[in-house]
Structure 1
Amino acid sequence: MRCNSDDLAHYMQASYSHASMHIFITLSAVAVFIGTRHVFSKIRNEMANLTVIIIGAGPIGLTSALIAVQCKRVHRLVIFEEENRSRVENRSYQITIQPSLVSFLRGYGVDFDNLEGEWQDGCFYTRVGVYLEYIIHVLPLYRAETDIKFGTKFSRDCIDTIDVMSGRKLVLCCDGRTGLAGQILGLSDECAYHSTASFGALAAIERSSQTLVPKPEIRVHNIGFDLSAYVSSELEEKSKSTFSLKIFGNSRCRFLALAVKKSDTKIVKAMKTVLDKSMMRNIFLKCFNTYKRPEETSISDSFCLNNMKFSPRLFEIRLSQKTETAAYISDCDTFVITEGDASRSFNFNTGMDINLGLKSLSSLKPFIERITVAETEYNIMSSLIYKMEHSDRICKYFLKYGLKEYLFM
């Protein structure tokens, strides 16, 4: 049988058309599959939502709640708080919010103009109970379903309550440096300790006759002390160490923070090693009476004996940082992170300690947006790494600038 050229051309044309049609059908099927998958993925992402559980209704916990309810992905918010509502709203200690974080909180609707407090150099001073009461009042105004469980201590029994909640969940442990929520949920309790290259001492004076009126802080630098009455050897006159002092707190509870850069001078060694309570008591007494606000009355030695608590000597100022601050539990599709003192804590009170925790919350909204739609193991790990790296940067920044920013400047 012979095949002429016309038959061959016809056969090749038919084969080509058949192959082209097959390729077209295959490509069309792939395009439909990809398009359908993209549409379904887009719909799933748009419908994806998150339940946020917060443990601890302190300033970091409730600020986290305020951020969470403004994320469109969050449809439900549950807060566990050991104390009752009255005790939370009547907490008396004073907090100081620095200017950059005032702007950050304004962005989430905090109306400082309607909060009882005091302004100085852009810082806002208020009683923590006032701040907490405000947030508790505004949380129900947002669309997310909110349930604050006052008088409910978070324990292992509460894990079952979380497990039965449908969908993806985020648990924020904001129960302070002594809280056990992170440990109960499986996070390591191990800490890394970092030195700030400074020594410090603290004192607290309580005057029950005074009201809880917010007071701006007082900072004094280049203070020297004569310890000749307490130390037998003659102290160095050259290369004296100079101290920085801060007086802060409300009119009833006054606090003094005394700090000095690390050195080997005799005066620093004496204040670190000599355990003579009268020495430190007299130092704080003279500091308060010399640098107090003009309208405040002086305090006597006898008053200090009964109404002042203080560090008996200088100690090293350190920052402790949890080695594990974020995790994902696949069995119940739950993310767990630590915030505030539950994540990092400072053993030296400057009255601005809330700012360290608030700075970490700047990554909370992006983190919520990431984890709500994270599908693959890579997406989940990337989200956790993002949060942990941000937490690490907060610590590094504080070690480099924090004490200077909060006290030495």
Structure 2
Amino acid sequence: MTTNPFAAEENWYLKMQCESTDLIHQSALAFQQLILTAIVVAGFLYTKTYYDNVRRHYARITVVVIGGGPVGLTAVLIASKNIHVKKIYLFEESYRNNLVNKPNQVAFDFRSVTFLRTLGVDFDNMEGCWDNNIFFTRVGIFQDYLLSLIFKLNTETDVRLGTKFSRENIKDIESIHGRVLVIACDGNDGQASRILGLSDEFANHSYKAYGAVAGITRLDKCHLPLPERRVHNLFFDLSAYGASLDENGKAEGFTLKIFGSSRQRYMTLLVPKSECPMVKTMRLVLDRGMMRNIFVKCYNTYKSQGEVTLSETTAIKHLKFSPRLFELKLFQRLHTVAYFEDDDMFVIVEGESARCGNFHTGLDINNGIRGLMSLTAFISLASCAVTEHAILNAMMYKARHDDNLCREFLRNGLRESMYSSY
């Protein structure tokens, strides 16, 4: 029997063809499975994205604002513009007459004016005056204007004036169906944050400067808003009090500001930290006559045209002032946001409840307005957050904003409100 010399080779070739065919079939099957998996994953992602978008679109939150000052009323206005807010409650201890008759003057810088205009605030139709892109008005006028806007809102709003927020109101908040955001704006003396469970712990930051303040109320004058006046590089002759220039004949110059309405006038003195004899004397020597004399002479020299000279007799009777220089500090609340899972409730603090200083500059309101610039985004994040990760991200966003705001204010606050010449 003859053997085919090519049989083995043909068998090997046929075997390789079969294996190649099986490999092709397996590859085709794997490719089909890959395509099918991709379609399933894409369908899942599309469905999830669509569901998440629908859920985010229809997510709703109830906002409770505590405090009807400029910051609290602005917070109500911001919340009303957010599509996720279904209802707003406002708790304010004072009645409307007390709010609109508050006499102290506030000043909004250009950044705050721009932001408030996006909320519908028309400064051109509000009593006040402009100077160097700063709008000066009485706080009562601003609050009356915001209240008039709030009472016209399309968003359901429950304004409870003359109602002090207390522990009893927490039960009302807990009975609200769905997620709740509580915004405490009742000032640095307010108790809302503590009642709601936030820590009262503050961190204090130094501005690396010393200052003094003075104020006088003249009941014979009206509450006419007046622009501020800044003067730089002031030097005082304090030789009668034992203060002299240093060995090089140099002393640290002071910055002076006069601001407020025609009825309530304020003065601030500011100087960077230094160890020159003049600054040391004004820091350590408790001499009311020296400080009163400085403020009276500063006021009479740099007052607005047409203002009456401040006499020694009037100053002795009515001028209130710091008896010596003190260190300027900013106090920052360590915890400005919290979430309580059992009640599905976020709590945040704004305005002087979150940050406050020991030095009045007339532009203090702007620090509170800066904090509200993150409120729209936070409301959206808080209303849509479902997982612990999303809730934590919302809280971190708010905490980062507050921390950055504090850093920015320490870096630029005095420069913008005192040191600069506009």
TM-score by structure 2 length?
Answer: 0.89
Q: What is the CA–CA distance in structure 2 between the aligned matches of 1:277 and 1:132, rounded to whole Å? A: 37
1:222 maps to which of 226, 233, 236:
233
Bigger Rg over Cα: 2
1:367 aligns to what? 378
1:209 maps to which of 206, 210, 220:
220
- Give the deviation of 1:23 after TM superposition: 9.5
Matched letter for residue 361 of structure 2? T
Cα deviation code 1:255-310 (max 9, x no counterpart): 00011010001111110111111111111111111100111010111101111110
- Summarize the alignment of residues 10-409 of structure 1 with structure 2, pairs less than 5 Å apart: 35-229=46-240, 231-232=241-242, 234-236=244-246, 238-409=249-420
Q: What is the CA–CA distance in structure 2 between the aligned matches of 1:282 and 1:150, rounded to whole Å? A: 44
Q: 1:20 to 1:290 in 2, by over 3 A?
A: closer
Q: What is the CA–CA distance in structure 2 between the aligned matches of 1:273 and 1:138, rounded to whole Å? A: 50
Matched letter for residue 314 of structure 2? F
Cα deviation code 1:184-205 (max 9, x no counterpart): 1111111111000100000001
- Determine what percentage of the aligned residue pairs are the same residue: 44
Cα deviation code 1:71-100 (max 9, x no counterpart): 111111111111111101111100000011
Q: What is the CA–CA distance in structure 2 between the aligned matches of 1:62 and 1:141, rounded to whole Å? A: 13
- Secondary structure (helix, strand or coil) at the match of 2:342 reads helix
Cα deviation code 1:309-340 (max 9, x no counterpart): 10010000000101101111111111111111
Q: What is the CA–CA distance in structure 2 between the aligned matches of 1:225 and 1:324, rounded to whole Å? A: 42
Q: What is the CA–CA distance in structure 1 between the aligned matches of 2:31 and 2:211, rounded to whole Å? A: 81
Name the count of aligned residue pairs. 399
CA contact (8 A) 1:51 1:77 kept: yes
Gaps of 5+ in 2: 1-14
Question: Bigger shift: 24-33 or 176-185?
Answer: 24-33
Q: What is the CA–CA distance in structure 1 between the aligned matches of 2:277 and 2:60, rounded to whole Å? A: 61
- Secondary structure (helix, strand or coil) at the match of 2:373 reads helix
Q: What is the CA–CA distance in structure 2 between the aligned matches of 1:22 and 1:117, rounded to whole Å? A: 72
Matched letter for residue 236 of structure 1? D
Q: 1:157 to 1:241 in 2, by over 3 A?
A: same
- Secondary structure (helix, strand or coil) at the match of 1:296 reads coil
RMSD: 2.3
Q: What is the CA–CA distance in structure 1 between the aligned matches of 2:418 and 2:43, rounded to whole Å? A: 63
Q: What is the CA–CA distance in structure 2 between the aligned matches of 1:346 and 1:73, rounded to whole Å? A: 34
CA contact (8 A) 2:242 2:281 kept: no
Q: What is the CA–CA distance in structure 1 between the aligned matches of 2:140 and 2:302, rounded to whole Å? A: 28
CA contact (8 A) 1:75 1:143 kept: no
Gaps of 5+ in 1: none
- Give the deviation of 1:28 after TM superposition: 7.5
- Secondary structure (helix, strand or coil) at the match of 2:87 reads strand
Q: 1:227 to 1:44 in 2, by over 3 A?
A: same
Q: What is the CA–CA distance in structure 2 between the aligned matches of 1:285 and 1:204, rounded to whole Å? A: 11
CA contact (8 A) 2:255 2:271 kept: yes
Q: What is the CA–CA distance in structure 2 between the aligned matches of 1:39 and 1:298, rounded to whole Å? A: 70
Q: What is the CA–CA distance in structure 2 between the aligned matches of 1:233 and 1:346, rounded to whole Å? A: 29
Q: What is the CA–CA distance in structure 1 between the aligned matches of 2:377 and 2:391, rounded to whole Å? A: 13
TM-score by structure 1 length?
Answer: 0.92
